Amino acid sequence: MTAASLPPEGLPGLDARWSRVVRVPGRGIDEGMTRGWHCLDTAAVLEEAGAEIVGTILAVHGNPTWSYLWRHVAAATVRAAEAGAPAWRVVAVDQLEMGWSERTGLHRPLTQRVADLAALTDAIRLDGPVVTLGHDWGGVVSMSWAVDHPESLAGVMLLNTAIHHPEGVPIPAPLRLAGARGMLAASTVGTTAFLDTTLALATPALEPAVRAAYRAPYDSAARRGGIGGFVADIPVDARHESHAELARIADGIARLDVPALMLWGPRDPIFSDRYLDDLVDRLPHADVHRFEGASHLVAEDRPIAEAIVAWLADGAVGSGGAGSDAAAPDAAPHGGARSRASPVATDATHATDAFTPIWHGLDARRDDDAIAVIDMAGGDGRPPREVSWRMLDDRVRRIAAGLSSMGVQRGDRVSLLVPPGPTLTAALYACLRIGAVVVVADAGLGVRGLTRAVRGAWPDVVIGEVPGLAAARALGWPGLRVSARRLPAAAAAALGVACSLGDVAALGADAPLPAAPGPDDEAAILFTSGSTGPAKGVVYRHRQLSALRDVLAEHFAITRDTGLVTGFAPFALLGPALGTRSATPDMDVSSPRTLTARAVAAAVRASEGSIVFLSPAAILNVVATAGALTDADRADLATVRTFLSTGAPVSPELLASALALMPNATPHTPYGMTECLLVTDVTLDGILAAATQPDAGVCVGTPIGANRVLVSALDADGVASGAPSDEPGVLGEIVVSAPHLKQGYDRLALTDRAAERATPLAPLPTHPLPEEGAQPDPPLPEEEAQRPSRRARWHRTGDVGHLDAQGRLWVEGRLPHVLVTADGPVAPVGAEQDVERVPAVRRAAVVGVGPQGLQQAVAVVEVHEGVTRAGLAEAALAADVRAATAQPIVAVLAVPSLPTDIRHNSKIDRTRLSAWADRLLAGERVGAP
């Protein structure tokens, strides 16, 4: 037995004033004895600073760490209190046998550790409000305290942990290895192998001094017994002595109604997203944030302390005691937490709007034998695949009822790994009809990006074609697997397929449909392109999908006879929602440059489509292959009346080239993003008219319908810190609001909070004139106008630009690509447009090199011909480039091709170019960017 002690002084980040040893009357196997606990306690420091403590964070470490894990949380809460924020005391314990607490030498199963922590909190007279915080096994122990002390509980916070392990699934391999007979003592107690392996999981690697601090309490086998004890206490099955207690805690968690925060490292080889998904099911109201790239030691990998302080400061947890108003059921969860019931609407603007389900257009034509969906894929002479409205509706209903009969229920997630066409359309609307949440991540993300997206969403069901199912099998994607088409038994077994979509439809042939979801149930998770970082899952509720349908129909005058040709994946599924036929051209939708002019003409002919949606990269190839068009093809294209390109900026020259192929169409280039698919719109005539103005950037027109656009001005450091406004000529971050604006990001609570902090604080611009006969909105009182708007939700887009005097929006680049020079922030697009006027230049990117605040502009150009290797441009070309723009250019680099994003193949990767140019100009030998 070894007594408790204080840790040595000088450990990085650890304030010696926090450490104390507490003598605690024992319970259970310690009954009649007193045990010594070491803990970090910031109470004395806060009191010395004169701060009034509003609550306590009770933090419990896991195995094989100690309270040192929470040093950043302690420091951040003290700093916040000293700055005037509500003061939260931190009590971070070293569990018995661990850290600097007493070594009793006794076996301490989970029930005993639960009793231990309760004894400690009683000894220090800890009362409410308390927010628990736990990691690893400390997550389980902390949640036991939460379940057993509801009168004091104000909230719960969890880092990577597990509260339940599914039957029949082996525990994670590292734990199996550590706990194997003959290995347990050697790997956990006799050597430091388990400790070293855990510390090695940090990404980035721990500093040597920090690693040494974690190792300090475990410098001998005698002090490592608790490490082995924790591993031995993992309840691998129902026969284990701790299984019943773990089950009790897991059941109790599902009854908690306090605010909850989960901060997760997805690369954890032990506590994977499987365990996060289980916790989300138990606490569906939780704020969830997955730190992409972080691993098991997420508290070391990412700034979780700042996240915790912000969460508390934002009012997620009331400071007035347990059960405060902050836990009210209408508090909207951030981060796309799964909910199986309709929450109270959080958007006062649209909460009372009439709601028509997204599948209404399909219902309305269920007895119609006209063609609904046309799949042109094949390209080998096969006729297009055509599906009537009657057939599509029947298929949707059968699949919906079949999925429901299989146990798929409202809120369950279904990943669709099927290319656009009738099969995907039927599966998608079937899921929407029963309230299952469709997860749509297209193959353009690449294998790595697609894996990250699917695992992050953690679907309950995967419906896919063979390539998607093979990837799911090989890469360990979650979910019950359903094949889009019937497979031979051997192939189905090899892919782990439970059944085919045909089997599902057969099951639903005579089964009833469940109750339809409500407008505020989650409907879909759509993934961003990943062009500015890991792809994010964007959560849409049914109300927002229906609003998107409505704004499309109204703005572009879409009727049942319109007909759509959709070569752009996000819009390829909207035909049935709009009640009009749709055709997908013969192309690989994950590679837009595979679309040809003849394929577009064939799709227009087959669908009699008068509206064509294409991505910018697709247009490039359509124009490039126009020479193959026949007279009949050109006649078909002449019937198109509206042509849209969205997803990235499109030059007037490219739009004009497309117009030459569709001479009777009005070219539109709407501006939007996955988070809000249509924000503004401009026609080619509008772009040409705007080109007479001196504004820099790409004119993307004026807001559509009830949409709103404001700009948050950039300060000298390139930060969007200005109050969002509609003042003309101000360079800043673009802020948008719309009825169809996304609900949030899936399991990215911190990203949500950052994106919504731009809610206008300045007086709001004048509302548009109401429709004739309608009553105008009453003017906002001055004090209401100065507060965050209660009338609409807003989104920070990450794009920079400005509004002009006519209310038109000009996009000038992405916020991360702004050059912060000695003269202030500079957006790249204006200078790039100047450079692209040089005859030899095909495309250009202007990027910054050097330190922030002193960055210099470098032009990287892709020329029409003559460049086979990347490097400094020829003197004549460099001179032409410098002469073309008023922006000082310190270097001109020429490349065979500019790197672009993986989905649209059209957004230039300026971040990559900047790093490449910096290395090249520093004298490094580098290849093409």
Spacing of C-alpha 44 from chain mean position:
40
Binned at pLDDT 50, 70 and 90, residue 903 comes out as: very low
State the pLDDT at residue 783. 38
- Helix residue spans in 180-272 (DSSP H): 184-185, 193-199, 208-215, 225-232, 243-253
Structure confidence by residue, pLDDT tens digits, 118-156: 999 999 999 889 999 999 999 999 999 999 999 999 999
Cβ-based burial of 655 (10 A; exposed 0-12, middle 13-18, buried ≥19): buried
Binned at pLDDT 50, 70 and 90, residue 761 comes out as: very low
State the pLDDT at residue 355. 83
Strand ranges across the sheet with 871-872: 841-849, 856-863, 889-895, 871-872
Cα 288 from Cα 872, distance rounded (Å)? 47
Look at residue 739 and give its three-state secondary structure: coil
Residue 38: strand pairing partners: 21
User: What six digits make up the tokens of 518?
Assistant: 């409500």
Average pLDDT over residues 459-475: 89
State the pLDDT at residue 314. 81
User: What six digits make up the tokens of 732?
Assistant: 């800043």
User: What six digits make up the tokens of 218?
Assistant: 């475990």
Cα 847 from Cα 817, distance rounded (Å)? 7
Cα 100 from Cα 275, distance rounded (Å)? 30
What is the DSSP secondary structure assignment for residue 569, as one 8-state letter?
G
Residues 6+ apart with CB under 8 A from 151: 128, 322
State the pLDDT at residue 533. 65
Pairing of strands 676-681, 698-703: antiparallel
Give the whole-number percent of the chain exceeding pLDDT 90: 70
Structure confidence by residue, pLDDT tens digits, 231-264: 988 887 788 899 999 999 999 999 999 999 999 9
User: What six digits make up the tokens of 88?
Assistant: 């939260």
Mean pLDDT of the chain: 87
> Could you tell me if 281 and 251 are in contact, meaning their C-beta atoms sit under 8 angstroms apart?
no
Structure confidence by residue, pLDDT tens digits, 212-237: 999 999 999 999 999 999 998 888 77
pTM for this predicted structure: 0.84
End-to-end CA distance of the chain: 61
> Could you tell me if 62 and 95 are in contact, meaning their C-beta atoms sit under 8 angstroms apart?
no
CA distances from 139 to 77, 271, 306, 840 (A): 20, 11, 19, 61
Average pLDDT over residues 309-333: 55
What is the DSSP secondary structure assignment for residue 605, as one 8-state letter?
H
Is 191 a residue whose pLDDT tops 50?
yes
Cα 798 from Cα 732, distance rounded (Å)? 10
User: What six digits make up the tokens of 151?
Assistant: 């009168």
> Could you tell me if 684 and 701 are in contact, meaning their C-beta atoms sit under 8 angstroms apart?
no
Q: How many residues does the chain have?
A: 929
Residue ranges of E strands in 487-573: 497-500, 522-527, 537-541, 564-566
> Could you tell me if 838 and 880 are in contact, meaning their C-beta atoms sit under 8 angstroms apart?
yes
Pairing of strands 582-584, 437-440: unpaired
User: What six digits make up the tokens of 77?
Assistant: 């809460």
What is the DSSP secondary structure assignment for residue 322, as one 8-state letter?
T
Cα 186 from Cα 319, distance rounded (Å)? 47
Residue 28: strand pairing partners: none
| Per-residue burial over 182-204, b = 16 or more CB atoms within 10 Å of its CB, e = otherwise | eebbebbbeebebbebbbebbbe
> Could you tell me if 891 and 858 are in contact, meaning their C-beta atoms sit under 8 angstroms apart?
yes
Of 38-52, 89-103, 117-131, 757-771, least confident by mean pLDDT is 757-771
> Could you tell me if 145 and 58 are in contact, meaning their C-beta atoms sit under 8 angstroms apart?
yes
Among all chains, which residue has been given the structure tokens 């736990």?
A: 134
Strand ranges across the sheet with 413-417: 497-500, 480-483, 461-464, 413-417, 437-440, 522-527, 537-541, 744-745
CA angle 24, 30, 36 (to 5 degrees): 35
> Could you tell me if 659 and 623 are in contact, meaning their C-beta atoms sit under 8 angstroms apart?
no
Pairing of strands 795-803, 809-814: antiparallel
CA distances from 612 to 585, 658, 667 (A): 10, 11, 10
User: What six digits make up the tokens of 136?
Assistant: 């690893």
> Could you tell me if 649 and 904 are in contact, meaning their C-beta atoms sit under 8 angstroms apart?
no
Of 71, 66, 53, 121, nearest in space to 95 by CA: 66
Of 475, 455, 472, nearest in space to 266 by CA: 455
Cis ω for the linkage preceding 467 (within 30 of 0): no
State the pLDDT at residue 81. 95
Give the whole-number percent of the chain exceeding pLDDT 70: 87
Q: Give the Cβ contact number of residue 608 at 10 Å.
A: 15
Cβ-based burial of 360 (10 A; exposed 0-12, middle 13-18, buried ≥19): middle
Binned at pLDDT 50, 70 and 90, residue 444 comes out as: low
Average pLDDT over residues 327-338: 36
Binned at pLDDT 50, 70 and 90, residue 638 comes out as: very high
What is the DSSP secondary structure assignment for residue 765, as one 8-state letter?
P
> Could you tell me if 194 and 261 are in contact, meaning their C-beta atoms sit under 8 angstroms apart?
no
CA distances from 48 to 17, 78, 81, 502, 825 (A): 11, 11, 11, 70, 43
Q: Give the Cβ contact number of residue 738 at 10 Å.
A: 28
Q: For the chain, what is the radius of gyration of the CA atoms?
A: 30
State the pLDDT at residue 172. 57
Is 531 a residue whose pLDDT tops 80?
no
| Per-residue burial over 699-731, b = 16 or more CB atoms within 10 Å of its CB, e = otherwise | bbbbbbbbbbbbbbbbeeebbbebebbbbeebb
Is 571 a residue whose pLDDT tops 60?
yes
State the pLDDT at residue 443. 64
Q: Give the Cβ contact number of residue 793 at 10 Å.
A: 23
Of 601, 640, 633, 594, nearest in space to 617 by CA: 594
Of 337-346, 444-453, 658-667, least confident by mean pLDDT is 337-346
Among all chains, which residue has been given the structure tokens 């929407």?
A: 432
User: What six digits make up the tokens of 708?
Assistant: 């709103």
Is 20 a residue whose pLDDT tops 60?
yes
Binned at pLDDT 50, 70 and 90, residue 318 comes out as: low
Compute φ and ψ for 290, nearest 5 degrees: -95, 120
Structure confidence by residue, pLDDT tens digits, 673-723: 989 989 999 999 999 999 899 999 999 999 999 999 999 999 999 999 999
**Domains (ranges, CATH) in the chain?**
19-164+240-324 (3.40.50.1820), 176-232 (no CATH), 352-542 (3.40.50.12780), 691-741+750-761+791-815 (2.30.38.10), 818-921 (3.30.300.30)
